[in-house]
Homo-oligomer: A and B are copies of this chain.
């Protein structure tokens, strides 16, 4: 096994800035949501994805997919959201292994209440900082980096 070449100067800088930016953005969003809505960003994403799904319902495996979380992580998260009354588990009609996560009315209300503050945080942390044309660049880069990456284990 040969040792791969190190990052050149531009790559090095890009990499360091990227991990700092990603960490700070996630931190800012987590803190805002935890403070104002009593949930971490990961849980907000669960509610958000469910709210857009037909019947506000998604199979656990699909919900894990769209929220970029492992099955275990999602299962724990849904359990926690169930305790809050924001999500309910239903049995899958045809596949008896499957479980369905359903967003409750209370869950939808909690999401609706949290959304404006979260949106403001996203703007403050990201889009308010970007110049014209940079949104398109972010889109292109995000697309490239998101696709093909192995999903969570």
User: Which residue of the partner chain B has the closest CB to A116?
Assistant: B3
Determine if A144 is an interface residue (Cβ-Cβ < 8 Å): yes
Cα–Cα, bound, A22→B150 (Å): 12
Determine if A62 is an interface residue (Cβ-Cβ < 8 Å): no
Contact B129 A17, beta carbon cutoff 8 Å: no
Interface size class of A (residues with CB under 8 A): 35 or more
Q: List 23 A-B contacts (CB under 8 A).
A: A4-B120, A6-B119, A7-B119, A10-B136, A14-B138, A15-B122, A16-B142, A17-B139, A17-B142, A17-B145, A18-B126, A18-B141, A20-B68, A20-B146, A21-B145, A21-B146, A23-B152, A25-B149, A31-B153, A125-B149, A126-B145, A130-B144, A134-B144
